[in-house]
Amino acid sequence: MNNQDCIFCKIVAGDIPCFKIYETENILSFLDIGPVNKGHALVIPKGHYKNLWDIPADLGKELMTAAQVAGDAIVKATGADGLNLLMNNNDAAGQLVFHAHFHLIPRFKDDGLKLWDQG
């Protein structure tokens, strides 16, 4: 399943470059183009599912496993002290790309990043 107008489907297809962190048959993890902190990455299913509720249960488990593996790699590579796992679902929640994705956001002691202040 692939959506011609979707930027993440284009990344999966290799039509838009990305910095890959981790990949399986069904999942891709890559650095976010607009990082909110050092090492900010995304984990996406290769198939086009628009949000959390669109993802089949088995694929959801694979996605979580990939988040664990990619998150561990990013924490080790950046020397982070922690990690936020975040998902925006629908525009009211701040979703901009309607291809389901987890954000992996490394956190550093006293980095001052405010993720929950949405005004």
Active-site residue list: 101
Q: Which stretch binds Zn ion (CB under 5 A): 6-14, 63-71, 77-85, 108-116?
A: 6-14
Is residue 83 close enough to count as binding ligand 5GP by CB under 6 A?
no
- The amino acid that residue 108 corresponds to is F
CA atoms in the 13 A half-sphere facing the CB of 4: 0
Structure-block tokens of residue 1: 């399943």
Q: How far is CA 69 from the centre of its chain?
A: 12
For residue 64, what are the contacts with CB-CB under 8 A and spacing of at least 6? Answer: none
Residue 70 DSSP symbol: H
Binding partner at 18 among Zn ion, ligand 5GP, none, C-beta below 5 to 8 Å by kind = ligand 5GP
Question: Exactly one of 3, 78, 84, 89 binds Zn ion (CB under 5 A); which one?
Answer: 3
Binding mask 45-74 for ligand 5GP (x = CB under 6 A): ------------------------------
